[in-house]
Structure 1
């Protein structure tokens, strides 16, 4: 008689997942997802970030389950994976903040002493900061850093066509955001 995945031990599920059993891996994820999400939420302090971190941990778990040695408990290993994902997200956020600030300063410096241009540039920069992450990244890389779409695609680990699409969508959204800012 075969045990249901819900009745199987973590060690059994890990062994089966290492051998490529997707159902066993799915059972592990289902069993430990709330634990990972709770840790991510406590460390990040933000539910949206916690969801992103938990999903990232699940991906990392899938990539590295075969190298899990079992020296410590599985939850200890999950703590480490989750903390690494939290740290990676924090480092990424810090890099994005530095890039965004640098781009804003550079654009303001390039505008010169014209206060009307400064105000327009600041309004545009404020709108760029409100774009979704991928669109903002594409705009920063292509217009802020002067990268070609292909080079930006490499940096973002997406296709060149996707970078072009993000730029196109960002332009449409920026028009709306700048127009709304002017009405306030």
Structure 2
């Protein structure tokens, strides 16, 4: 079933709403985790976002893609939670694939991923949001721009500067 059909059905039918939530749940949780850097905080943000999506689904007008609208709800929920907390959470848990070829390579990869995750969490909120949506959620530049309510040029510019910052933070200007 198409997203638009599910959205229309979800407004009148609980089974369609459940199917719609099952469809979007993975990327809602993943985005929330990437933004918060913490599994526990990510789950809280994701659950709040899913609840808001259910409550405000009737407000989706189709001006953007449904996926873009969902990401906007997740971002706004994250921003609300961050304002309440007024602190940055550094992740303690690992989320790695278990099929590393050797112990040495696994340690090196985990170390690089930990370094990258740590540096991403040091970015200001807007840079982190744009980076997560573009590189971790693989949204197009236009989808990121629509989600963030900025221009595509702004997204490209911020991403360029963010990549440069991360490169400098990780490699010391190499």
The structure richer in helix per residue is 1
TM-score (norm 1): 0.46
For the pair shown, the structure with the greater C-alpha radius of gyration is 1
TM-score (norm 2): 0.49
